[in-house]
Amino acid sequence: MPIKLKPSSKIRDKATGKFITEHYYLKSMTIQELNDYIESSSAKKKIIQKCKNEIARRNKWTVGIMEKI
């Protein structure tokens, strides 16, 4: 299972009445959003470490591509 920042939420569209499920996966967030969460005062240590691991994973991925070029 992918790592989540917080639990999924169901949002009701007022115009159509349909429910949309919004997921908060770390892999779908931008690096700026991850850094903002790390620097926030209400951040939990366990989630901060997950964000740091995601940033490190992305950096390894981009470095690997640049070495092949």
Q: What pTM does this model have?
A: 0.73
Q: Write out the two tokens for 14.
A: 């007022």
Q: List per-residue pLDDT tens for the chain, 69 residues long.
A: 789 988 999 999 999 999 999 999 999 999 999 989 999 888 899 999 999 999 999 887 666 655 555
Q: Is 57 left (phi over 0), alpha (psi -120 to 50) or beta?
A: alpha
